[in-house]
Every structure is written in structure tokens, then in C-alpha cells.
Amino acid sequence: MKNRLALLCITLLIVGSSYCQNEDSKSLTVLEPRVEYHENPEGLDVRQPRFSWILKGEGRNRVQSAYQITVASSKEKLSQDQADIWDSGKVVSNQTNQIVYQGIPLVSATKYYWKVRVWDESDMVSTWSNPAYWSMGLLKFANWQGLFIGHDVGYNKADKYDSLYLPPARYLRKSFSLNKKIKKATAYTTALGLYELRLNGNKVGEANFLPGWTDYNKRLYYQTFDITNNLREGENVIGAVIADGWYAGYIGYALLVRLDRVREFYGVNPSFMGQIQIEYEDGSIETIASDQTWKSNEGAIREADIIMGETYDARLENAGWDTPNYDDSQWKKPKVYTYPNGKLEAYPGTQVKNTEILKPIAMTEPSPGTYVFNLGKNIAGIAELKVQGPKGTKVQLRFGEILKNDGQIQTENLRKARATDTYILKGDGVETWKPKFTYHGFQYVEVTGFPGKPTLETITGHVLSSIETDASTFGSSNAMNNTLFKNIKTTQSANFFEIPTDCPQRDERLGWTGDAEIYMRSATYNSDVAAFMTKFLVDLDDAQRWYGAYPNFAPFPYSRPNQYAPAWMDAGVIIPYNLYKVYNDTRIVEYMYKGMEKFMQFQEDASTDYLRPGGGNNWGDWLAVNEETSHDYVGASFYGYDAKLMAKMAEALGKTEDATKYANLFENIKNAFVQKYILDNGRTIEDTQTSYALALYFDLYPNDLAEKGAARLAEKIEKNGFKFSTGFLGTKHVMLALSKYGYDDISYKIFQQTEYPSWGYSVENGSTSIWERWNSYTKDDAENSDLNAKMNSFSHYAFGSVAEWMFQHAVGIDTEDAGYRNIIIKPAISKEMDYINGSYKSINGNISSAWNWKGREVQMKIEIPVNTKAKVYIPTVEISSIKEGNKAISKVPSITILESNGEETILEIGSGTYSFRVKGVK
């Protein structure tokens, strides 16, 4: 076959060598070239960005033996193979990600074009990838020319707690003329507050909630937009609408608990700063920067607050304000503000975008003039209103996650989040409007004040999220579990919103660290969260307390002491570890390392004889039902887990001494832990589900007692009717621990449980999302406003952490080393399910695993991406009873039989698709 291909090549060489390559169907294909995890990112400030790609290739056992990356200063040069910036040459390596740029120093405000090709196992070269690019942002302080400008709206706040202060948005504009041919134009912009950039009447870019949330005292991110196509010769107008956002608006529960400060955590007035840089065809450069030659004003947006909502008075629109030929003589000279302390950096994460549009599935009128629209699922986002009516008509939108028994929306659980949008009509035909600077967590939109009778067309739902949840699929023979999977994704989407928030609806929406660390690995299965979580770790690092603990949430705007808690603060170690494990990312580990060391020291100082007590804010196994695990137990076990992960991360960074130090620390903690908490009969002294789950999963059990501990956990679950008594911490670990010790059947029973407390209970109660509490709602207690008013979110991803078990065990996809190069396929095949299938798009490409019973046989279908290997665990000991395709596996050359150990047979396979039939599975 190879010879035939080679021959084809020689013949075609007469026509041209590249044609020869295309004809060669066997060479690998390079797809999805990425820089710093992004597709064609604009405005990086990482001086040595990292490259990655994915490979496709027919057949089996395909690998990359070498790669070549070329980088050029123009598209043309790149296509002519003039790599004037960097040519890696042919690098003998099977690495396809985390490849560090090694060319000449990268220059501010410059675009770079790149491509990559690879050689396969027979040294056959691929065609080049599609050309890709990235651009560098403004790398030096001296590059910035703008002032922070805003508009004075006065300040009129009488009372801190009992009335809201919601100032209007500010509008800024600058008209300028361009008289030469433009080659390239770029905008570099940011705001203290939130901003929307406008050019000649249109919004620039697709992202919302710019520039993102950071500890603005430490750093502020800016965005880079290629605006070459937005400009024209003659008059142009750049504009910005700015609002309070996280910088000056209400944040979290401050109002609820009456903190000293309830808003303005970083500053009082929002301001905008930026510049556009125009490169003309003749080589000259012009910069238009924010300064006092701009004009400022108020406009139609009368109130704009992330959690309180937005009010828009269309009668006050300055029609055409962001387009040429507008008379701005009545506008003011902008006010200049200062940004004295922090750094200015390129945004590293993934920004909030409109990821889905929803049409209502129903409209009801629970009381005269009150209309309720059902969007079909519980999302984070906004509603767009379409209305026609007399000038001055005031239409109000309120938002709810569930309905009360009388059909009205339930808003008690929003606590102090007003979550109300208002639109005042200008009265000229059909008007459509959606807010810019607020968002809500909701399934239902209540419309009041509507002129006439609305229709289903009146409301459109816009789902907003920083991520796409497109990395995974899951299907099983249990419809409830399939709905559960959908609900997990919906809730992840709703809460991966600039930061991983606890919930999107009430007066909270904070980056709670406990929730994030519990859900971290689950998150990676559903979505590529590498950049998103990298950005969050910068927030977490910035928020680390001076004494070493990581706080309860990040960013941390409040000035409260002792804001840390066991299992929450550990996010500072657990999240970096998972980024390393899933994406093979050591750079983020390096970045966090100093802080993590400080955190370990803090824990050591707080410990007595290697036992870290509970301490700080003690939530323990938060929202557990019927059983309580002591906070000291939680503290001690997470300390052990941290030590174990630190040892692995130190090793990954080549810090061998540290690796030994932390490995020893782990042993010491374990010994102390065993002495205090594990009895000779294998029970924990706490004897709660959570206590077993944590100790078993964290490897804190002595080897000779672990089986007994696992048996006790299984027994307790069984005695409890295959139901949980766990909260945030236990729930994630119970099934992971059970499956680790061979109790898959019990895990499946919990997984399929529908009685309270269980996931099935929420699905059977009609939920489209994951609830904060096991008992957030029952059909009978929709009126239970007491529970609802306190703390009851219907969009809380923490209990969605079962996704980790679903993929690692039910579907059976995991990674042995960092970054899914050595994959583990070990599905929990059980009579409890007829079939399960799932897939996960890893950093190396798509992995899938499906199994089903066919009579007494099990069929398994597996897909392994190019350039990776997998160990496949098949639950039968008879090698002769496993067939692949129609052949005995011993006759399939691409399969290596590693062992058959009395319980299972372990095979090694390379890339490709495989179809197994297995007899004798019990």
C-alpha cells in the first residue's frame, strides 16, 4: 500500500509536490491550530505564547513523529514559506500542545501568521494546517496614550441599605476624519466599570461584560479588536457606553448582610480608556486616544447594575450619537479619572458571549395584565423585548427560576437582587430592546405594563456564558440520567460567567472557591475551560490572604477578616492541579507555585501534629442531609489531599526536592489522620458517608483497611436506601470512592435514584438545572417562601460534580498522565444499565467510549485520537472471549494484550476506532 502511495506521489511530482501531498489520503491532517488555547487571539501579552493543534488520521496507531511551526509577519510571506519570524525546523517530537514560541522577540501591536505541519509514524509529512494568526497587544506602558474618561452624573445617595442607588450609564463619543487609505486599524480599550465599544453605529466585537472582573486594585484587563473593516474614509465615530459593573455597582450579598460597603468596592465612577491605532497604506501611523477632546453625556440607559437590573428610557435616546453627522455641541467635556495602582494586561480568559437564543415555549397570564413567558430552561442571560405602543408606556420585566402554585414567578430566592428591567417606550413603531450591563438567572420572564396583549414573539431569551459546553456527549439507557446530563451542562453554562459563580440569580454570583474546586474536573469534561480557569486562577492568586489562606471567593472585594474555610481555600491547589492534569499545563502551576507554597505553610502553622483543624468559616460538608462530618475531619483530609497534589505538581515542574518534601508531608498527615480518625475495624470515627468518601478518595486509608472502609461505605449507602446523606464535599467523592473500590453497582443505584435526596428527584420534579439543595423544591412546596427566601438557588453547579464520575466511570474516560496522552478507558460495565455512551473532546482530540449489553455479550466501541494510546480495561479474564471486529484480539496486530489479572483483561491500543465483543462479563 505504501509503495502504491509513493508511486502516486512520484507520478504527481511532475504536476507539483503539494498536489502530491493532498492526494495522499494517509498522511495526518492538522486541525484547530490554537495559541494560548484561543483561536486566532487578538492582543496577547504573553511574550512566549504556546501553540497547540489536533491531529486526524485514518487507520490505527497513528502518531506524530515530528512537527514544524513557521511564523511570518504577513499572510503572503507565510504562504510563500518565508518564515521571517520563526521557523522551528523539523522538530522530532510527539508534542502537540504546550509548545512554547522560540522565535525572535515579539513586538507590541503586531500581527503574526503561523502554520504547522507534522510527520507521521512513517515520516510522511502532512499538508500545512490552515494559516492561523495571533496579535500582540500593547506591551509597554509607553504605548498607551489614553486617559480614563467618564461623565459626571453627580452623586445622590441618601441611604445605604434601604434604597438602591443606581446611576445612569455614561456615553462617550469622538468624531474623527480619515483621509488616507487604511491598511490596518486596531482598537485597544478598557474601562473601570463595564463598557461597550461602538464604531460608526455598531457594537464592536461580540463579547459582553468587558473588560471582565478582576481585583481592579491589582490589575485591569484590556481588549484588542481588529477594526480595519469598521472604519472608512471621511468622518468616523468611536463611542463607548460605560456603566458601574463590578467596579462600582452592587456585588454579592453585601446589602443582605449590611456590610459597611454595599457597592463601589473598587471606585465610585466608571471610566473608559483606550485608543485606536491606524496604519495607513503609506506606512504612517495615527493614534486616536481617549482624552478630553471626546464628548460625554447621559442617555437612554437610566439604571444599569449587574444584579439589580437595567432601565431604559427610549425617549432619552440620543439617536445617531455613535454615527457621523451628529451634533454633539450639547455634550460635555469628559471628566478625567485616575487608575493609579494596578497593572494593565491583556484579557487571558474567555469572555461572556451570547451562546444561544431561546424562543418561549409558553405564555400564561396568571393575573390580569401579568404575563409569564417560559423559556424552557433555567439559564443565565437576558430577555429581549419587542413592543409597540404609546410613548411613555413603561414595560417591566422580572425574572424567576420557578413558578409558584398560582403561576406567578417566585422571586423570594433572589433575596436583595432586584433583577428587574424596565423599558419606557418612545412610541414610534415596533421597538426592540435588550439590556447591556445586567444579567439574570431565570427560566421565566414576567412582563407587566405591556400595551395590549403580548404574543410569544414579545420575548426572546439570550443565553449568556463565557463557555460553550460542547466538549462532551453522554447517553444512557436511563432517560432521567440523560436529562440530568443536560441539566448539568445548562447549569455550567449559566455559571461559567466571567468567573465560575455559585449561582446566577440571587444577590451573590461570586466565585466561590469550594464550589469551583469540587466541580473543576467535571467542568473540564463538558467544556474547554483552560483559558477560563487560567483567568480565574489569576483572580484567586490576587485574592490570596496575606496570611496564606485562599479566600472563600475570588475576586474578593470585601474587606472582611478570616474569610477562608477548609475545602474552599484548597481550591488554590486543586484547581491548578486539574489544569495540569487535563491540559498538561505546567505554566499555570509555575504561576501559582509561590502562593501554593505559602498556603501550605499557612496550613502547617495551623496544624498540630500534622492535623489541620477546621477553622475560618466552617461550612464542613455544606448542605449535607441527616449526617454531619466534623469540620476538623474535613480540614485534616483536605490538607492531606493538598500535600499529595503538591508533590505531583512539584514533580511536574522538576522540583524534585519539593516533590519529596510534599510526599513526606502527605505520609505524615496520613499517619496522623489514621491515628485520629480510622479505627482498627476500618471504620472512621465519624462513620458518615462523607468521611469514608474523602478518606478513600484522598488515599488516606491504610492499605490493609481501605477495602474494609469501602465496604462500610457501600453498606451505609445500601442501608440508607441507596441515597446520599452528603453535601457539597461528600457528594462528589462518594461514587468516585465506591467505583475505585469496585462498587460500581452501588454507584449506579445512587445515580438512578429518584427519591429525595437524589438528582433523579430534581429531574422528576421537572428541573432543567442543578439545584443548590437536595430539597430545593417539591411540587407541593412551591409556596414555601421561607426556604426559598433564605438560600435556594436552582442553578448551582456544585452537585453537578457527578459529571466527573459519569465520564471517569460510567463512560470510562480518564487520563493516566497529564493531558490525555495515555488514556484510560475503563467503563463501569454493570447490569444496572443497558447501555452507556459518551465522548470527550480532549486537548488531543475526541475520545469516545460506548458499551451495551447484547444478550449475554457486551459490546464496546472505542475511539482514540491520533498520537495517543489507551489502556482499555475489559471486565473478563478470558482473553479468548474478546473479539475485535470479528477477530480474536490475539490476532489483531494493532492491539497489545497487557495483562489478564483474574478480574479483567487490560489491552493497549493506539489511535483509531475499535469495536469489541466480550463474552463472560458478570
Nearer CB in complex with ligand BGC: 322/515: 515
Q: What is the largest CA-CA distance in the chain?
A: 87
Write down the least CB distance from residue 335 to ligand BGC, Å: 37
Write down the least CB distance from residue 619 to ligand BGC, Å: 4
Which parts of 791-820 interact with ligand BGC (CB under 6 A)? 796, 798
633 interacts with ligand BGC by CB under 6 A: no
Q: How far apart are CA 24 and CA 58, in angstroms?
A: 11
Catalytic annotation, pick one of 42, 264, 310, 772: 772
Q: How far apart are CA 633 and CA 689, in angstroms?
A: 13
The answer to whether 310 is a known catalytic residue is no
Write down the least CB distance from residue 795 to ligand BGC, Å: 10
Selected binder of ligand BGC within 196, 508, 528, 539 (CB under 6 A): 508
Catalytic annotation, pick one of 310, 508, 804, 884: 508
Nearer CB in complex with ligand BGC: 189/493: 493
Q: Residues with Cβ < 8 Å from 505, sequence gap 6 or more?
A: 380, 399, 401, 413, 414, 417, 419, 440, 441, 442, 793, 794, 795
Segment near ligand BGC (CB under 6 A), from 303-311, 365-373, 500-508, 590-598? 500-508
Segment near ligand BGC (CB under 6 A), from 83-91, 185-193, 203-211, 510-518? 510-518
512 interacts with ligand BGC by CB under 6 A: yes
Write down the residue that cell numbers 460510567 correspond to. Answer: 810
Write down the least CB distance from residue 796 to ligand BGC, Å: 6
Q: How far apart are CA 242 and CA 150, in angstroms?
A: 8
Task: Select from 556, 551, 539 the least CA-distant residue to 251.
Answer: 556
Segment near ligand BGC (CB under 6 A), from 13-21, 67-75, 366-374, 507-515? 507-515
Write down the least CB distance from residue 526 to ligand BGC, Å: 19
614 interacts with ligand BGC by CB under 6 A: no
Selected binder of ligand BGC within 196, 215, 264, 515 (CB under 6 A): 515
503 interacts with ligand BGC by CB under 6 A: yes
Interface with ligand BGC (CB under 6 A), residue total 10
Q: How far apart are CA 640 and CA 774, in angstroms?
A: 28
If you write DSSP's letter for every residue of 674-693 in order, what string do you get? HHHHB-TTS-BSS--HHHHH
Selected binder of ligand BGC within 514, 614, 620, 727 (CB under 6 A): 514
Q: How far apart are CA 553 and CA 696, in angstroms?
A: 27
Do 605 and 625 form a contact (C-beta atoms < 8 A)? Answer: no
Segment near ligand BGC (CB under 6 A), from 106-114, 197-205, 511-519, 536-544? 511-519
**Helix ranges, 24-88 (H):** 75-79
Q: Residues with Cβ < 8 Å from 667, sequence gap 6 or more?
A: none
Nearer CB in complex with ligand BGC: 514/819: 514
Q: How far apart are CA 257 and CA 253, in angstroms?
A: 6
Write down the least CB distance from residue 798 to ligand BGC, Å: 6
Write down the least CB distance from residue 481 to ligand BGC, Å: 24
Collapsing DSSP states into helix, strand and coil, what is residue 474? strand
Nearer CB in complex with ligand BGC: 42/502: 502
Nearer CB in complex with ligand BGC: 512/602: 512
Write down the least CB distance from residue 863 to ligand BGC, Å: 36
Write down the residue that cell numbers 500500500 correspond to. Answer: 1
Nearer CB in complex with ligand BGC: 619/741: 619
Write down the least CB distance from residue 792 to ligand BGC, Å: 10
Nearer CB in complex with ligand BGC: 515/658: 515
Residue 215: strand pairing partners? none
DSSP 143: G
622 interacts with ligand BGC by CB under 6 A: yes
Q: How far apart are CA 590 and CA 106, in angstroms?
A: 22
502 interacts with ligand BGC by CB under 6 A: yes
Residue 474: strand pairing partners? 838
Collapsing DSSP states into helix, strand and coil, what is residue 880? helix
Write down the residue that cell numbers 433555567 correspond to. Answer: 378
If you write DSSP's letter for every residue of 271-307 in order, what string do you get? EEEEEEEEEETTS-EEEEE-STTSEEE--SEEEEETT
Nearer CB in complex with ligand BGC: 512/794: 512
* Residue 776 grid coordinates: 430545593
619 interacts with ligand BGC by CB under 6 A: yes
The answer to whether 401 is a known catalytic residue is no
* Amino acid in the structure at residue 798: A
Q: Which residues are catalytic?
A: 508, 772
The site for ligand BGC (CB under 6 A) is made up of: 502-503, 508, 512, 514-515, 619, 622, 796, 798
